[in-house]
Amino acid sequence: MRIIRAILLTLISAVIASGIVYFAFVRPKVRGWGLDPHEAELPLPGDDLIPEPSHVETRGITINAPVAKVWPWLVQMGFGRAGWYSFEMLDNKASADSVLPEFQALKAGDVMPTHPGGGFLVKTVEPERALVLYTDTDLLRSQAERSENESYPEIKASWAFYLQPEDGTTRLIERFRAKTPGSGPATAVLGEIMGTGIVLMTRKQMLSIKERVERLELAQTETEPTTAQPAWPAHDLAAAATDETEPMADLAADPESTSVN
């Protein structure tokens, strides 16, 4: 009995120690990645979809390219499209490495798929500025291939992508807002797990978008022909040559200019 109690005490102590380490050292670095306090307070399109969220995550990253080069990568996202540029297990395949013309048409009311049976509802499409996705319990229920008696928690979630131009570069800002039911320790733990998962997923996604956009931008810059200096017309060259030889001719024609006193 004492051995079992000792083992339990050891396990509990390990869990507590792990929690302290996580909240003291790991959590600040993970949850603080890409976080700008100013951007966290910035009103963004889609905020009105969930006026009183229980969870909010805002991240940002600077991409060395204009907004026109970043926007195509956002509108083509989705399962069976260009992917989510995050972890491959989300798409069961690698995300696209190029802009796909067939997936550039997107409008409010479309579905950006997360799986074969459904996905996020597109709420806002402002070209080269904002893309807002949304889901809730009713949407999940309508897309599910299950019995109508299947119960779903009452949730709402919005996912906004905002492009802010900055002197030839682009600030890509992502914001996830969610409203989940309940309160207490269980809800707090669920929120912590969900928040950490969102950070890890969006971090991978934003870094992948940045890498793809900048790689394509660099490749296009390297293939652009350099501007050659314009050649002088033949008559200008002849005139220049004449101007340089005329003083020498005058000098030869004037004997006194070459005499030595």
Least confident of 6-10, 126-130, 143-147, 153-157: 6-10
Give the span between the Cα atoms of 15 and 183, in whole angstroms.
23
| 214-259: pLDDT as tens digits | 999 988 877 766 555 554 454 444 444 444 444 434 434 443 433 3
Domain ranges of the chain: 36-223
| Token pair in block for residue 26 | 């790991």
Closest C-alpha to 202, from 179, 165, 163, 176: 176
Q: Which CATH architecture has domain 36-223?
A: 2-Layer Sandwich (3.30)
The reported pTM is 0.72
Q: How far is CA 135 from CA 2, 35, 119, 129, 143, in A?
A: 51, 24, 8, 21, 11
Closest C-alpha to 131, from 153, 102, 154, 106: 106
Q: What is the mean pLDDT of the chain?
A: 77
Q: Provide the pLDDT confidence category of residue 149 given band limits of 50, 70 and 90.
A: low
Decide: 170 and 63 in contact? Cβ < 8 Å.
yes
